[in-house]
């Protein structure tokens, strides 16, 4: 989305960029929880040293805030050795500084975690004019000090996920945040046409439409196509789908088998991208026997390979896809992958490599889940 040349890793959970926050499309970066503006980089990770700097600089930061109104203050720590008790005392010290400068402030407590949750940041308006959340982010032997300017819209995600008229747990519950990532990795841009040939209840298509991308969906089950249509009409009525400036949305739906269908969008623009969650196999309530696992993997592999061969015949060289394919996470942490990953070249595809992430890292799973989603980003040869 931003270009690898504009990014630099800080630690396992944070990445830096030389792009101004106003130019980052944060609301569609589904995997990002916060965006913050750097205030300084300090050559220390000692909490006492950091506090001395904060005590000196905090009055300066206060002078940049509006003169009227009660301030809200929060502190979040990422990687620095400090206790929640120490953090609370630091907050109280900063409250005293506010009082000495004629300002009243409400401190947002961290409770048992060193980092405030998205809900705490949102509900306490810490990104508003009268709010300030200071982040302390460890970078080796250095500490980035930053101020939060945006946080993920958890209310919007929940509304698009839980309030849709049609949901079906039996076909999987793709989180809207993950759907955003899949659309982003497909390379689709505004006004281009994106295909989801396993559309299910339409989560990928709804996120594409909110990005002003034309959407074409199909599914083997007519019931799923009907669900998608009802959900997309609900989206049109309930959400701002004109953020890109067209004041309209375009989508087309078909019933068809992704392994054999001819993908025709009934739209002037050609289909240039595929973004989808493919068949993930049967849900698992426990880890299967080796024989059963081989059977499940084999079934998924056959279906997805047939789909990929079908798509390869219909898409032009250079067409880019992001497919969420199944992977199986064993209790010992081992990941079992689809065999087709070992012969993508024979299927007519090149796998995209990323500058700041290994392909093995592009696996999404929740705690306790046995079936994970592996994000396969490929181009047609």
- pLDDT tens digits for 125-143? 999 999 999 999 999 999 9
Instruction: Report the range of poorest mean pLDDT among 148-152, 172-176, 338-342, 349-353.
Output: 172-176
Domain count, the chain: 2
Residues in the chain: 381
Any bridge partners for residue 322, and if so which?
Answer: 275, 377
| C-beta of residue 75 within 8 angstroms of C-beta of residue 111 | no
How far apart are the C-alpha atoms of 164 and 236, rounded to whole Å?
11
Tokens at 171, concatenated: 């076909």
pLDDT digits (tens, 9 = 90+) for 226-274: 999 999 999 988 865 444 444 467 899 999 999 999 998 666 667 889 9
Domain end residue (candidates: 94, 129, 152): 152
pLDDT at residue 314 above 60?
A: yes
pLDDT digits (tens, 9 = 90+) for 87-116: 999 999 999 999 999 999 999 999 889 999
* The pairing of beta strand 15-17 with beta strand 7-9: antiparallel
Question: Do 128 and 171 lie in a common domain?
Answer: no
pLDDT of residue 237: 85
* The pairing of beta strand 15-17 with beta strand 131-139: unpaired
pLDDT digits (tens, 9 = 90+) for 18-63: 999 999 999 999 989 999 999 999 999 999 999 999 999 999 988 8
Range of the domain at 86: 4-152
Question: Do 275 and 358 lie in a common domain?
Answer: yes
**Residue 132, Cβ density class (10 Å: 0-12 exposed, 13-18 middle, ≥19 buried):** buried
The owner of tokens 């506010």 is 98
Question: Do 123 and 162 lie in a common domain?
Answer: no
Question: Do 258 and 350 lie in a common domain?
Answer: yes
pLDDT digits (tens, 9 = 90+) for 194-238: 999 999 999 999 999 999 999 999 999 999 999 999 999 999 888
Q: What is the mean pLDDT of the chain?
A: 92
How far apart are the C-alpha atoms of 231 and 205, rounded to whole Å?
10
Question: Do 72 and 139 lie in a common domain?
Answer: yes
Closest-CA residue to 121 (of 148, 89, 103): 148
| C-beta of residue 169 within 8 angstroms of C-beta of residue 123 | no
pLDDT of residue 191: 87
How far apart are the C-alpha atoms of 50 and 145, rounded to whole Å?
9
Three-state SS string across 122-147, please? HHCCCCCCCEEEEEEEEECCEEEEEE
Question: Do 135 and 185 lie in a common domain?
Answer: no
> 3-class DSSP state for residue 75?
strand
Domain end residue (candidates: 108, 137, 152): 152
> 3-class DSSP state for residue 324?
strand
pLDDT of residue 172: 62
Sign of the CA dihedral with 5 first, then 8, 13, and 14 last: negative
Question: Do 119 and 212 lie in a common domain?
Answer: no
Question: Do 109 and 232 lie in a common domain?
Answer: no
Question: Do 117 and 241 lie in a common domain?
Answer: no
| C-beta of residue 84 within 8 angstroms of C-beta of residue 110 | yes
Count the neighbouring beta carbons within 10 Å of the beta carbon of residue 91.
18
Domain of 39, CATH number, reads 3.30.2130
Closest-CA residue to 340 (of 364, 315, 308, 365): 308
- For the whole model, what pTM was predicted? 0.93
Question: Do 182 and 69 lie in a common domain?
Answer: no
Question: Do 187 and 315 lie in a common domain?
Answer: yes
Number of H helices, E strands in the chain: 9, 16
Domain of 288, CATH number, reads 3.40.50.150
> 3-class DSSP state for residue 76?
strand
pLDDT at residue 169 above 80?
A: no
Contacts (Cβ under 8 Å, ≥6 apart) of 274: 186, 194, 195, 196, 197, 311, 315, 319, 321, 322, 323
Question: Do 95 and 192 lie in a common domain?
Answer: no
**Residue 38, Cβ density class (10 Å: 0-12 exposed, 13-18 middle, ≥19 buried):** middle
> 3-class DSSP state for residue 176?
helix
How far apart are the C-alpha atoms of 49 and 31, rounded to whole Å?
32
pLDDT at residue 73 above 90?
A: yes
Q: Taking the chain, what is the end-to-end CA distance rounded to the nearest angstrom?
A: 22
Domain end residue (candidates: 106, 123, 152): 152
Any bridge partners for residue 288, and if so which?
Answer: none
pLDDT of residue 166: 86
Closest-CA residue to 73 (of 91, 56, 46, 100): 91
């Amino acid at each position: 989305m931003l270009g690898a040349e504009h990014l630099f890793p800080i630690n396992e959970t944070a990445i830096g960029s030389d792009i101004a926050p106003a130019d980052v499309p944060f609301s569609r970066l589904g995997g990002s929880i916060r965006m913050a503006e750097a205030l300084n980089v300090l050559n220390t990770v000692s909490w006492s040293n950091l506090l001395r700097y904060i005590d000196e600089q905090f009055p300066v930061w206060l002078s940049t805030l509006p003169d009227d109104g009660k301030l809200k203050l929060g502190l979040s720590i990422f990687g620095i050795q400090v206790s929640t008790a120490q953090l609370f005392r630091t907050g109280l010290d900063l409250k005293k500084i506010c009082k000495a400068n004629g300002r009243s402030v409400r401190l947002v407590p961290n409770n048992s975690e060193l980092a405030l949750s998205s809900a705490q940041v949102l509900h306490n308006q810490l990104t508003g004019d009268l709010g300030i959340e200071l982040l302390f982010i460890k970078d080796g032997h250095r500490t980035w000090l930053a101020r939060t300017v945006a946080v993920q819209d958890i209310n919007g995600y929940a509304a698009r996920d839980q309030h849709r008229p049609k949901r079906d747990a039996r076909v999987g519950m793709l989180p809207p945040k993950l759907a955003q990532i899949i659309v982003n990795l497909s390379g689709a841009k505004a006004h281009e046409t994106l295909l989801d040939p396993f559309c299910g209840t339409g989560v990928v298509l709804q996120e594409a439409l909110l990005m002003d991308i034309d959407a074409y969906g199909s599914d083997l089950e007519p019931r799923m196509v009907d669900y998608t249509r009802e959900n997309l009409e609900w989206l049109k009525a309930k959400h701002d789908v004109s953020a890109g400036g067209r004041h309209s949305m375009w989508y087309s739906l078909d019933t068809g088998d992704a392994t054999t269908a001819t993908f025709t969008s009934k739209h002037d623009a050609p289909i240039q991208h595929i973004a989808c969650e493919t068949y993930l196999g049967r849900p698992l309530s426990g880890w299967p026997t080796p024989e059963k696992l081989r059977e499940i993997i084999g079934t998924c592999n056959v279906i997805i390979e047939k789909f990929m061969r079908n798509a390869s015949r219909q898409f032009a060289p250079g067409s880019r896809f992001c497919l969420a394919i199944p992977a199986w996470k064993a209790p010992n942490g081992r990941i079992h992958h689809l065999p087709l990953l070992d012969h993508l070249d024979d299927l007519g595809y090149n796998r995209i490599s990323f500058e700041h992430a290994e392909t093995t890292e592009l696996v999404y799973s929740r705690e306790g889940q046995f079936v994970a989603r592996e994000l396969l980003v490929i181009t047609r040869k």
